[in-house]
Amino acid sequence: MSRTNPPDSGIEGEIILRPISPVERPGMVNSRPYQATVTVLDANGQTVTQFQSDVKGHFQINLPPGTYTLRPESPSSHPFARQQTVTVSEKVFTRVLIAYDSGIRGLGLQH
């Protein structure tokens, strides 16, 4: 019986939610880790897999080399994160940051 080992490549990273306060001051951290579900699509737009970050926002998913679209899922209009395209190379875990917009607006610094 042959065993197939999982690929030694894929994506890893973190998911954050920002801003968490409507007032932002210089040097202030205005984000926090966010647990969310992300759908992974192949180059043809077909679902490859779906994963969820842990409570600290971290994730790691094994994927064979290729180009993928990460589609962060949202239960409503906010929080919201944009899709992003990621290329996975052989024997490498591509680092990704997914930033959800909380929808909070207020007085603060402009970025």
Please state, in angstroms and rounded to a whole number, the distance separating the CA atoms of residues 57 and 76: 19
More confident residue, 24 or 31: 31
Peptide bond into 19 cis (omega under 30): yes
- C-beta neighbour count of 69 within 10 angstroms: 15
Q: Options 2.60.40.420, 3.50.50.60, 3.30.310.80, 2.60.40.10; which CATH number does 10-101 get?
A: 2.60.40.10
pLDDT tens digits, one per residue of 40-75 = 999 999 999 999 999 999 999 999 999 999 999 998
Q: Where are the domains of the chain?
A: 10-101
pTM: 0.85
Which residue bears the tokens 């589609």?
71
